[in-house]
Amino acid sequence: MIPLNFDALFHAFDEGLQPEDVIRQVYARIREVADPGIFISLRDEEDVLEEVRGLGPRDAARPLWGVPFAVKDNIDVAGLPTTAACPAWEYAPAEDAFVVARLREAGAVVIGKTNLDQFATGLVGVRTPYGAPRNAIDPEIVPGGSSGGSGVAVAHGIVSFALGTDTAGSGRVPAALNNIVGLKPTLGSLSASGSVPACRSVETISVFGLTVADAYRAYRVAAIFDPADSYAKRVETRALGQPPSGLRIGVPDAATLKTFGDTVQEDSFHASLALLEDAGHRIVQMDFSPFYDVAEMLYEGAWVAERHSVIEELLERDPEAVLPVTRQIICKAEQLSATDAFRGFYRLKDLARKVEGPLSDIDILCVPTIPTFYTVTDLERDPVGPNSNLGTYTNFVNLLDMCGLAVPVPPRTDGRPGSVTLLGAAGEDARLAEVALALESAGTRSLGATGWPFA
């Protein structure tokens, strides 16, 4: 089986591998994994084979020629339904989402639409009526969400990369739980045209990859300004250079590091910080309390109401079409007023001002991607608490207009995947990726759950 990370795949193309061979491997892998929870809709294998036969010769103008990818099912792909994991919401898009179209123009090949927490509301990946995907590393652990299907598809080596979305960490938490990379770009750099928003003002399409370079390369292809998206921004991207050194990296201090009693996770994080120090960076201990205060804002006031605005008509027409836990979270907005929303905006501004000083003293942040692990059984006992805890280091990021990159680090001492997230100011996507290059190459690890070595 050919590894599907970009370098290995492109080398195989250079040696004569044909895209048809890749597609046959993709579908063979889907059958081998045998997890019906990964995809909500899947293109027919013969249709995809016919598409790749028409790709024509490989050329530099199509840097993703023959690369298979998957798309979270709240992002449109022409010819496949969009459901946002709610059958009553299903519609048939007439065209690809802007980002999907850019990737296909670059030669990438859509395989199918992946499962998610309904209406992208959740970090666990099990809030879906289509049957939750199984974590690729350990089926007892939640797959992560809301982009769980995308994360699991990449981790199994079914596709080379996948699109997710990220409001509260949905493009980062599944990466940590499945031993892959999760790139949450600068807000506005990837067009939202053709996607079902959760919180449009603080949400972005995200990218999962087997390696940092893969995720960043796919991001760079898709990061084209879309004037039709009123939240889009002109963000310059550049090719990655060598990993830098000498950065001041802010981290939670001992008093504010949260792992909910998971000492193995704490040790893994400290080992990752040692890797950063070995790379020539300086670790700066910080009081993270203000960041946690910002994180609590995401499911209060204005941003819950923003989720409600998307599905208000469905809730009025057919409330039972929305899963009970999803409905419980989003319908809190019905008790809020416009006055409450403005109070929330003002509080966020006050909290953001409090972190300006600490952030001015550092170059980037490094945090555990997740504070600890939760099982499917844990979520059956308590569908809300573990989900909230998984957002400890992710919920504040978009509210503060930061970019983020979840990167695998050496496995924990108990064998579970290690992951940290690098966070930077808007526009610092390339610098985060360059720092992450050194982190992901530490120790010996395989890509996702594939057994393919990182090289």
The catalytic residue positions are: 72, 146, 170
Angle between helices 338-360 and 302-317 (to 10 degrees): 140
CA atoms in the 13 A half-sphere facing the CB of 63: 12
Tokens matching residue 436: 């992450």
Which tokens go with 141? 């652990």
Chain-centroid distance, C-alpha 202: 14
Q: Which residues contact 425 (CB under 8 A, 6 or more apart)?
A: 359, 401, 402, 403
Q: What are phi and psi of 392, to 5 degrees?
A: -50, -45
Handedness of CA 96, 97, 102, 104 (dihedral sign): negative
Radius of gyration over every alpha carbon of the chain, rounded to an integer in angstroms: 20
Cβ atoms of residues 207 and 219 within 8 Å: yes
Q: H/E/C letters for each residue in 83-99?
A: CCCCHHHCECCCCCCHH
> What does 84-142 look like in DSSP terms, one character per residue?
TT-GGG-B--SS--HHHHHHHHTT-EEEEEE--SGGG--SSS---TT-PPPPSS-TTB-
User: What single-letter DSSP state applies at residue 44?
Assistant: -
What is the token pair recorded at 400? 């503060």
